[in-house]
C-alpha cells in the first residue's frame, strides 16, 4: 500500500529528474533546398535565388553560393539572392545552399543552371543588312506561302509552315527556314518578323558554313506575347557564317508564319583615334624677332 505522501514524493522526484536531465544532443541535420530557379534551368537577367530549410530543433542560417562563392546569408530558415546573371559568362554554373541548425549540423543542396544572356553588341555594332543572295528554303510550306516570301522585303507576305493532321495527330511538329547569304559574313543581328498569333513557342537560330554542321547561336527563344503584326523579334548574334537557319521546335498554334527575316552584319569598328595636329611654323623653341 503506497501512501498519498509517497506518491507525491515519487511524482515530484520523477518530475524534477526529467526536467533537470540534459537534453539529448541534436544529431539530426537540417533539410535544405533551392526553390528558385529549378535544376537545369536556362536563365538570364536578374534571377532571385531562393533557398529554404527546415530542422527538428531550428535553423540558425542558410547560405547561398554561386560557383562556390558565398553570396548571401539568411539568419532564419530561408535566404535569397538577386543574381545579375549578365555579369557572369554564358555557361553552366552551380548554385548551392548550405543550412546550419542550432547544433551546427549542416546540410547542402546543389543545382545546375545555364546562363544564356543576349550576346552583347560587338564593338562595331550592327552594320548594314546582309543580302540573302542565293536562296531560301524551308521545311514543307503551305501552298502559295513559300519560303521566298520571308525574304521579299514585303512585310505583308509570309512563309507558312505546312500543317496537316492524320487521324487527329499532327503530322508536322517542327519546321525550319534556311537562308543562304552567298558568302560568309561576320554577323551581328537577325530580325524575324513573326505572326503575332501564329508564331513560335520555341525556336533556335543556327549558323553553318558547310550546310551540314549547325552551331546554335541562340536557343530557347519564343515569339509569344507580341501585340502588333508582324511581331518583330531582334536577336544579337556573333560569328562568321554563310548559312543561317531558323529552327522552330514548337509552334504557338498549328503552324508558324514568318513575314520576313532580315540579317545584319557587324558594322565598321568605332573610330576611337583622334585627329593629329601639328604646328608647322614657327618651330618649337624658335626665337621670334
Ligand atoms: Ca537538427
Ligand atoms: Ca515577306
Query: Which domains can be identified in the chain, with CATH numbers?
Result: 31-115 (2.60.40.10), 126-266 (2.60.120.260)
Most confident of 59-68, 160-169, 263-272: 59-68
Indicate which ligand has the atom closest to the C-alpha of 148.
Answer: 2
| Closest by Cα among 262, 245, 260 to 174 | 245
pTM, two decimal places: 0.53
Going from the Cα of 213 to the center of ligand 2, the distance in angstroms, rounded, reads 27
pLDDT of amino acid 19: 54
Indicate which ligand has the atom closest to the C-alpha of 259.
Answer: 2
Question: pLDDT digit string (tens) for 155-212?
Answer: 999 999 988 777 777 777 889 999 999 899 999 999 999 999 999 999 999 999 998 9
Higher-confidence residue of 17 and 163: namely: 163
Mean pLDDT of 131-148: 75
Return d(Cα 51, Cα 245) in angstroms, integer: 40
Question: pLDDT digit string (tens) for 73-120?
Answer: 999 999 999 999 988 888 999 999 999 999 999 999 999 999 988 765
Tell me which residues have their CB within 5 A of the ion that is ligand 1: 26, 28, 55-57, 101
Indicate which ligand has the atom closest to the C-alpha of 177.
Answer: 2
Q: What Cα–Cα distance (Å) separates residue 217 from each residue in 102, 167, 214, 221, 273? A: 49, 37, 9, 11, 32
Tell me which residues have their CB within 5 A of the ion that is ligand 2: 149, 152, 154, 157, 260
Instruction: Look up residue 23 and give its three cell numbers.
Output: 537534453
Going from the Cα of 104 to the center of ligand 1, the distance in angstroms, rounded, reads 8
pLDDT of amino acid 12: 54
Indicate which ligand has the atom closest to the C-alpha of 107.
Answer: 1
Residue 17 has pLDDT above 60, yes or no: no
In the block, which residue shows the cell 519560303?
Answer: 147
Amino acid at each position: 500500500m503506497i501512501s498519498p505522501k509517497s506518491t507525491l514524493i515519487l511524482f515530484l522526484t520523477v518530475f524534477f529528474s526529467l526536467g533537470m536531465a540534459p537534453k539529448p544532443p541534436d544529431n539530426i541535420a537540417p533539410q535544405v533546398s533551392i526553390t528558385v530557379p529549378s535544376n537545369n534551368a536556362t536563365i538570364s537577367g536578374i534571377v532571385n535565388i531562393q533557398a529554404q530549410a527546415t530542422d527538428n530543433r531550428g535553423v540558425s542560417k542558410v547560405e547561398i553560393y554561386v560557383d562556390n562563392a558565398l553570396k548571401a546569408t539568411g539568419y532564419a530558415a530561408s535566404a535569397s539572392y538577386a543574381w545579375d546573371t549578365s555579369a557572369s559568362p554564358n555557361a553552366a554554373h552551380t548554385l548551392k545552399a548550405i543550412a546550419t541548425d542550432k547544433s551546427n549540423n549542416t546540410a547542402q543542396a546543389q543545382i545546375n543552371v545555364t546562363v544564356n544572356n543576349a550576346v552583347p553588341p560587338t564593338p562595331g555594332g550592327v552594320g548594314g543588312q546582309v543580302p540573302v543572295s542565293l536562296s531560301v528554303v524551308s521545311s514543307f510550306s503551305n501552298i502559295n506561302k513559300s519560303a521566298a516570301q520571308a525574304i521579299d522585303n514585303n512585310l505583308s507576305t509570309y512563309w507558312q509552315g505546312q500543317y496537316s493532321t492524320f487521324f487527329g495527330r499532327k503530322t508536322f511538329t517542327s519546321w525550319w527556314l534556311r537562308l543562304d547569304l552567298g558568302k560568309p559574313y561576320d554577323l551581328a543581328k537577325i530580325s524575324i518578323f513573326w505572326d503575332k498569333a501564329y508564331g513560335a513557342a520555341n525556336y533556335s537560330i543556327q549558323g553553318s558554313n558547310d550546310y551540314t554542321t549547325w552551331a546554335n547561336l541562340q536557343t530557347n527563344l519564343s515569339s509569344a506575347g507580341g501585340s502588333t503584326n508582324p511581331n518583330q523579334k531582334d536577336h544579337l548574334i556573333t560569328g562568321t557564317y554563310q548559312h543561317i537557319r531558323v529552327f522552330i521546335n514548337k509552334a504557338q498554334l498549328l503552324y508558324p508564319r514568318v513575314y520576313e527575316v532580315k540579317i545584319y552584319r557587324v558594322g565598321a569598328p568605332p573610330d576611337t583615334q583622334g585627329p593629329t595636329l601639328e604646328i608647322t611654323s614657327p618651330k618649337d623653341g624658335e626665337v621670334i624677332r
